[in-house]
Structure 1
């Protein structure tokens, strides 16, 4: 121990006195290790510095965007942009922080699988109903059975009880004239639909329809789920041959060409006594096709009967008239959509003293004037003529104001509408048709709003802004109906061009 050279102070602190001195080999390894550690720390510091600078730059760009929006909002004062409009426009802040695409993709895949299961279940039920109903209900099947039953008027002890006897549904030797086969019923087009209604329970019904080419008939079924495990599939519109009840094709039988995404199917409510009372309150039941089996449709189109060319031309001309008006109003509605659409609904309801949803020409002209949505007189007259000729006036010179608004202002596409319905169905888990404001507050999450991330606003401020603009759309202060919820997002949709931007705006705060 006495021959050992004194160690540097740093080594004396680390190495115990009773250990042998490190050899030159291990000293070299230690120096290499020390050099690597220093180099690694240096690289880590540089990366951390770059990351911090990147975050600062990102936050600065977000602030710049926010300031830009505020400046634009101030400049827009001359265009009648109110504080309420600006608060509604805050919802666009979710566009800057897209919804988690990986999480969204997983949810979407699960939803697609669940939707396919529903469709398969409904399709199986349709086949069961119509393959068995024809046999059971055919009067010929009862002839033999009635004769047998009449022979046993009194009970006989020598005859075995009914439960032990061999029983058949009918005498199989009898041929029936109305029996459908699986092959005949397989030539069909399956589609999803929703009811055009402001009633939340009706608007959110899950409807799946079928159009059969063998006799040009159609049927619509409703899929209902009670809790997690209990489901029910029942006919909503019974299988029959139906005709258009309004529009250019009024009175004409439904054909294959009438089925496409966005098409309307119209039925007289009085012809379907089993419909819910809320639907029978209206003269017409209007069902919008939201999705369709395009493969089956394309394969059957070759044998379909073409519609008259003049009707197709007339419908195209009608769309051009409404498109011209919508283009005129688009700029006026761009930043004021939420306030104007919700305001129009309230205004129409005040004018509708009878509560039947119908108003006359002067009422609509006055409404457009009140909300600074005037359109050229010629275009207005053309639109009014089309709405009257297409059977929307019910023969009394009045038009349904829901139809008028959809035609003059337009509406969001079915992709966007599907997410609005999905959110409302999530909120309205009891299927009452309205949601308490307190539940809206609990479910709405503003964590991923750009202003919250940048520190410009708090979660509570963004949430309060949303609730304030939503409450303004409501007739009751403590709850939101489906129609009011839909109007809010319909107005917001008018200022959003990209579907994916709308997807982020509605999916991010609601977590769907």
Structure 2
């Protein structure tokens, strides 16, 4: 999508500058993830998922600290422990990491969410809740891509690279779920202050 790389770069720069001013542990972790681009929070989720050996989708403190460290999050152990305790609402020594990632995701206004969902529904031609290469045919024009025009990539390769941009760098399966699409645009949204500009950008990008 045109402009996506630029927004990612703007968001990363903005997140880094805000990091030095923030003292809230949740916000600081969010900003460290966003400084890696739109898929930063998804990447942290993927790191936690790899560590979830028993597939119970929860983490204890030791796993949580290791996950932050493995993903390269710079945080003092005391601050990370306090952060864990904030999410351990029922005080049972574990946190649900789906809930944790939803809380970490930057919030979008109702108007922004609606235009993101309009774009998702337009791309999901088969209406099965997942965007695939087949869905993109006739909706996303690969023929304008520079690598297609110079013969370096096929149309399917352009589609696949496009889908990969919405996914975690560690989990590229060629499919984009509703949640992944919203996660991605939550990140892009964090770099754009104006609702009007964000909605205009989405409408222009997807011809809504």
TM-score by length of 1: 0.31
Please list the CA deviations of residues 122-176 of structure 1 after superposition, one character each: whole Å capped at 9, or x if unmatched: xxxxxxxxxxxxxxxxxxxxxxxxxxxxxxxxxxxxxxxxxxxxxxxxxxxxxxx
* Cα separation, 2, equivalents of 1:410 and 1:91: 15
Q: How is 1:162-173 mapped onto 2 (pairs within 5 angstroms)?
A: none
* Cα separation, 2, equivalents of 1:418 and 1:441: 23
Q: How is 1:103-122 mapped onto 2 (pairs within 5 angstroms)?
A: none
Structure 1 pair 348–342 and aligned structure 2 pair: CA distance change class (3 A): same
Structure with greater strand percent: 1
Deviation at 1:468, TM superposition (A): 4.4
Tell me, yes or no, if structure 1 residue 460 matches structure 2 residue 145. Answer: yes
**What does residue 343 of structure 1 align with?**
43
Deviation at 1:401, TM superposition (A): 0.7
Whether contact under 8 Å (1:358, 1:400) holds in the other structure is yes
* Cα separation, 2, equivalents of 1:467 and 1:378: 38
Deviation at 1:466, TM superposition (A): 3.9
How many equivalent pairs are there? 183
* Cα separation, 2, equivalents of 1:339 and 1:378: 26
Q: How is 1:67-78 mapped onto 2 (pairs within 5 angstroms)?
A: none
1:363 corresponds to which of 48, 59, 63: 63
**What does residue 267 of structure 1 align with?**
none
Whether contact under 8 Å (1:434, 1:480) holds in the other structure is yes
Please list the CA deviations of residues 387-414 of structure 1 after superposition, one character each: whole Å capped at 9, or x if unmatched: 22x33x6x4x221112222334544343
Whether contact under 8 Å (1:358, 1:399) holds in the other structure is yes
Please list the CA deviations of residues 176-219 of structure 1 after superposition, one character each: whole Å capped at 9, or x if unmatched: xxxxxxxxxxxxxxxxxxxxxxxxxxxxxxxxxxxxxxxxxxxx
* Cα separation, 1, equivalents of 2:201 and 2:112: 11
**Larger radius of gyration between Structure 1 and Structure 2:** 1
Tell me, yes or no, if structure 1 residue 325 matches structure 2 residue 35. Answer: no
Whether contact under 8 Å (1:326, 1:410) holds in the other structure is no
* Cα separation, 2, equivalents of 1:409 and 1:442: 31
Structure 1 pair 326–362 and aligned structure 2 pair: CA distance change class (3 A): same
* Cα separation, 1, equivalents of 2:188 and 2:99: 19
Structure 1 segments of 4 or more deviating over 6 A?
none
- SS of the residue corresponding to residue 338 of structure 1 reads coil
* Cα separation, 2, equivalents of 1:498 and 1:462: 33
**What does residue 494 of structure 1 align with?**
190
**What does residue 479 of structure 1 align with?**
175
* Cα separation, 2, equivalents of 1:442 and 1:408: 35
- SS of the residue corresponding to residue 399 of structure 1 reads strand
* Cα separation, 2, equivalents of 1:332 and 1:386: 18
Please list the CA deviations of residues 35-76 of structure 1 after superposition, one character each: whole Å capped at 9, or x if unmatched: xxxxxxxxxxxxxxxxxxxxxxxxxxxxxxxxxxxxxxxxxx
* Cα separation, 2, equivalents of 1:382 and 1:459: 49
* Cα separation, 2, equivalents of 1:441 and 1:472: 23
| Residue ranges of structure 2 left out of the alignment (5+ in a row) | 10-21, 149-157
| Residue ranges of structure 1 left out of the alignment (5+ in a row) | 1-86, 94-321, 447-457
* RMSD over equivalenced CA pairs, Å: 3.6
* Structure with the larger RCO, 1 or 2 (CA within 8 Å, 6+ apart): 2
